[in-house]
Amino acid sequence: MEQQLAERISELKLRRILELNAKLKESLLRERISTSNASRLISAYAQDTPDWLIPGRWKYQSRYQEYEKTKRSMPEPGCCTIM
């Protein structure tokens, strides 16, 4: 009886060790990247992705762009501007 119990316990321990070994082998197969590559990827993502909290990063044409073009093309007034 004690012999069977000891065998069963050792089989359970072996199974757990084999499962842990399989998990560790899987983690070794995962792709790894260096910190510098990761930071470069994050930086590229931040530059390419529009940020809706920063208007300059919205990546679409401003509705005032035509107004700005016409304003720039108008001749400058003389020395004074009367409003």
In a domain? residue 46: yes
Same domain, 28 and 38: no
How many whole angstroms separate alpha carbon 70 and alpha carbon 64? 10
CA dist 64 → 1, 67, 68, 70 (Å): 87, 5, 6, 10
How many whole angstroms separate alpha carbon 27 and alpha carbon 19? 13
How many whole angstroms separate alpha carbon 45 and alpha carbon 38? 11
Domain that holds residue 25: 1-32
**Number of separate domains in the chain:** 2
Query: The whole model's pTM is what?
Result: 0.41
In a domain? residue 52: yes
In a domain? residue 79: no
pLDDT reported for residue 10: 96
Q: Report the half-sphere exposure of 64 (CA within 13 A, side-chain side).
A: 4
For 27-51, the pLDDT digits (tens) are 999 988 899 999 999 999 988 887 7
pLDDT reported for residue 48: 83
pLDDT-above-70 percentage for the chain: 67
Q: Which two tokens stand for residue 8?
A: 């069963």
